[in-house]
Amino acid sequence: MNAEIYRFTWRGIEIEARYVASYWEEIAHLEIRSIKPEREPLPITETGYRSHFHHRGVIDLHGAENRGDALIAHVVDWLDAEAEKPAWKDYVEASRQGELF
């Protein structure tokens, strides 16, 4: 299985997305990890790593030649949507203030 690797920055965090378009027949596999800072929590994972299986049409709908752009847009949209949730906003606020205890 050949993985396609894409790197991008989201809100100051460098992220690597590894994508296997045909993991099992009609199933694709997406791995997302924060690499700078390493293991930095993201709104979709507290550990900085997320493995996600989905129907391969989700990304490939845009064609293989545009897969990288479509994949990055998909992940950024996912991160942005999860970042609007109270738990992530609380995490960001606590990170700014630091822990007192």
Domain hosting 31: range is: 4-97
Give me the chain's average pLDDT, please.
89
For the entire predicted model, the pTM comes to 0.87
Burial 28-60 (b: 16+ CB within 10 A, else e): bbbebbbeeeeebbbbbbeebebebeeebeebb
Instruction: Tell me what pLDDT residue 5 has.
Output: 95
pLDDT digits (tens, 9 = 90+) for 57-66: 777 666 566 7
Q: What domain count does the chain have? A: 1
Q: What's the pLDDT band for 44 if we cut at 50, 70, 90?
A: very high
- What phi, psi does 26 have (nearest 5°)? -95, 15
Single-letter residue type at 101: F
Report the alpha-carbon distance of residue 53 to residue 94 in Å, rounded: 31
